[in-house]
Structure 1
């Protein structure tokens, strides 16, 4: 198998894979409201904080911060590379992943770096949304939005968030996931301080 797969093939495999069914093979899930919850497989816990969304086809743990889509779950769970996770899910859904060469197709290929960037964006989006709706720190901002006519349904639908005033909050979250700060800076997620070079 080649190490590059056209985006349209990756998307076909992703949309044909129900993340609830896939994760359900590894984690016992129970439906609560619109989402499914279970014990996080990535860290020890006694109270379920691992959430899986059937609507959005993503997972997120409010305990350790892990999150992503069906590919990133398999990558983390089984220690697979991105292309290996795509191949595994392709075989599961009867979609053949042939050897792709640079001369076949003009679609832009997805690299592992791109997937990591997407995961980082998703992680921070979930983190900021969690701060807004589930913490005392975000209460003032939440009240402000509600008073301005922004409904809770809209906040959930668009995953509106609240960025902590702590200058290093995002840095700590990304470091906890073992992500390269220089790469996150290039992605526009972090800004280096001109004063001391910190993020």
Structure 2
């Protein structure tokens, strides 16, 4: 279905014909995604879903049956506090001011294995200058995910820290950590 067209003719120029064509629009009601079983995990999307997630009908919790469950933003503590705690704990452990085991509850198994592999940035291993952590910035691009960045100062030099936190079982866990 097209809109009626009209003719526009500026002075001294040939007539220009303007035709308005309607843009195809998505359906008014969202189509439900085809899912065989709802495990209580959130559907990844750029827009947070309203309302609570559906739960399993059995008496066992999803964690008991299927392992870790992703958490929505409403089920998690403040991301800024978790981000500051992670950056401080991880850097102090790498510098040698606290045991590396204190980082374990804040990270996934893969990140903890990478930290405990023994390879530390040279600026962490050398010298005894104080470690100063600047402002920690947090961005939440998707429900249950936080991306953080910070700058650590030691010995007159600045070093970048970036991490990705995901809500797992009601707690923020670091799934990726980059220290420059």
**Is the structural similarity TM-score above 0.5?**
no
- Max Rg structure: 2
* Structure (1 or 2) with the greater helix fraction: 1
* Structure (1 or 2) with the greater strand fraction: 2
Normalising by structure 2, what TM-score?
0.22
Normalising by structure 1, what TM-score?
0.20
